[in-house]
Amino acid sequence: MIILLIGLLAWTPARSIDAVAIDDTLFIAMDRGGGDTYLFRYESSSFIREVSLGDYDNLSIGYFTGADTPCLIVVTGNNQSDYDDLIRRFDSEDLSLVWESDSVPVFDDWEDFMRLVFIERRSIEARQPRIVSYYCSHVTNASDYLAIESSSFDPEIYFGCYDSLQYYHSESGYIDDDFFGPVAISGSVPLTITSNKWWGMWEDYVIRAQVHEADSPGWMRNFSVHDEMVSSVLPGLPCGFCLGSNSTEAVFLWADSEGANWSTVFSGDPLELTGTYPFEYPLVGFMGSWGPAAAAASANPDDQGMLVCYYRDGYIRARYREEGSWNPYEHQISSSGWVYTRDLAVCSVTEGYWITWNDGGDYPRISFINRETLTAINGEPSQNLDPIYLTASPNPFVSSVSFTISGEVDLENTIVSIYDLTGHLIRDFSSCRGESILWDGQSSDRIECPSGTYIALVRSGESSGSCRLVLIR
């Protein structure tokens, strides 16, 4: 029974990377592994700075402009029942902490449940953003329960949550659970999706949608999307892939027990299920009993389009949707090792879409694809912003470290820069005449740098790569 419970917990939908972008500024929250989470700021392809978020395995990020000043909000927590979640606001320029609070509502009836907390990535200016807590009991010998609590909050000065709504569902048996959202369309309240396999006397696959507005006092409106008895032995199926939105609709992509892909659309005011339609294109790859690879979708209520990205056959791929139709052209974004579910994020700006993913390194992989490229049937290759690879040896180092550059780069026009963790430039190597560069641990003023962690960034044209260094004196 204990072994079974551990297996179930592995399926709980913790998010290891999330991102939001404002024009050329990209904010990424990422788990480097083992709960070592960081917040990164990039200007276009250039790393600016990072701050540690602590020891957490779930994270969510949002950027809200409805307050007097723009607010960058990050929520972190762990997939367990001790509820150590933190909601924090950071300065969007230097990533300094503006405020933090552990005052995320906990309902007494669910206090022993596993909990994960998420926020909207973007919300409309007409209302405050919402923080969403997802609960699951993870029992193995009785009825299993899942629940959602949704509350509004002021991102500028956090005084706690208000206008709380709840959702509750139970079935006999135990659950492989998955949770998607929250997302919103223009003028709408948030939408979330629960996509669950209930294991009892039989296996039942249930998809339900939750609209975060009151259906009755204190309870959010919800409705069924799909319900089927599972007879297939195909690994990883049925399953949900991703939930995205734009200004007019929200779309949930999922697969049934026979492996057919479906697209469920929500639109209107109030938000309703418009219909479920066959998704006629290939989506993610599968890895046996590990299930599907990563998939993610943009979720900007100000955007006219929506980009869905997914991993298959060694590449991050993308497909664009606009005016209720999928573009038939599949864009190949970048080659990559296997990308697990929840290790991929997509966010939009006016000019196009940022795609970022966690491939097991210390820093996120990043690509950008222009909107003009996506709207053309015969699209051009995307702009891959991380095709250069920079390695350091030895690392950690005591007196000097050697950098090796790999990839198709013009070494005469390649720059390697060393930064500290505040984003301050320490040293530049402005002309790389060989594939190896030696840094003696000194600044450009020939002053020895103190012990600590540093960032090495290599740039060549529009492409970049980076690695983390540890200097020990």
Instruction: List the CATH number of the domain containing 91.
Output: 2.130.10
What are the angstrom distances between the C-alpha of 441 and each of 12, 247, 368? 43, 50, 33
On whether both 201 and 265 belong to a single domain, the answer is yes
On whether both 394 and 432 belong to a single domain, the answer is yes
Number of H helices, E strands in the chain: 2, 37
Match 């979330």 to its residue by tokens. Answer: 192
On whether both 69 and 100 belong to a single domain, the answer is yes
Q: Looking at 248-364, which runs of residues are DSSP E strands?
A: 249-255, 261-267, 272-278, 295-297, 305-312, 315-322, 325-326, 331-335, 344-349, 352-357
On whether both 355 and 409 belong to a single domain, the answer is no
Of the residues 349, 368, 384, which one is the last residue of a structural domain?
Answer: 384
Question: Rounded to a whole number, what is the distance in angstroms from the first to the last CA of the chain?
Answer: 50
CA atoms within 13 A on the CB side of 175: 28
Does the pLDDT of residue 360 top 70, yes or no? yes
Least confident window among 65-79, 135-149, 230-244: 135-149
- Token pair, residue 137, equals 């009991």
On whether both 308 and 411 belong to a single domain, the answer is no
On whether both 461 and 357 belong to a single domain, the answer is no
Rounded-to-integer distance, Cα 32 and Cα 467, Å: 13
Helix (H, G, I), strand (E, B) or coil at 362: coil
At 124, the pLDDT band (50, 70, 90 cuts) reads low
Domain that holds residue 441: 389-471
At 282, the pLDDT band (50, 70, 90 cuts) reads confident
> In total, how many domains does the chain have?
2
21 neighbors 347 (Cβ within 8 angstroms):
yes
Q: What is the mean pLDDT of the chain?
A: 82
On whether both 360 and 424 belong to a single domain, the answer is no
On whether both 154 and 217 belong to a single domain, the answer is yes
Rounded-to-integer distance, Cα 458 and Cα 392, Å: 12
On whether both 353 and 402 belong to a single domain, the answer is no
Q: Which of 68, 175, 172, 188 is nearest to 120 (CA)?
A: 188
36 neighbors 51 (Cβ within 8 angstroms):
no
310 neighbors 244 (Cβ within 8 angstroms):
no
On whether both 204 and 310 belong to a single domain, the answer is yes
CATH number at residue 407: 2.60.40.1220
Of the residues 322, 353, 384, which one is the last residue of a structural domain?
Answer: 384
Please report the pLDDT score of residue 1 as a whole number.
Answer: 31
On whether both 452 and 408 belong to a single domain, the answer is yes
On whether both 306 and 278 belong to a single domain, the answer is yes
Of the residues 351, 384, 417, which one is the last residue of a structural domain?
Answer: 384
Q: What is the mean pLDDT of residues 24-33?
A: 92
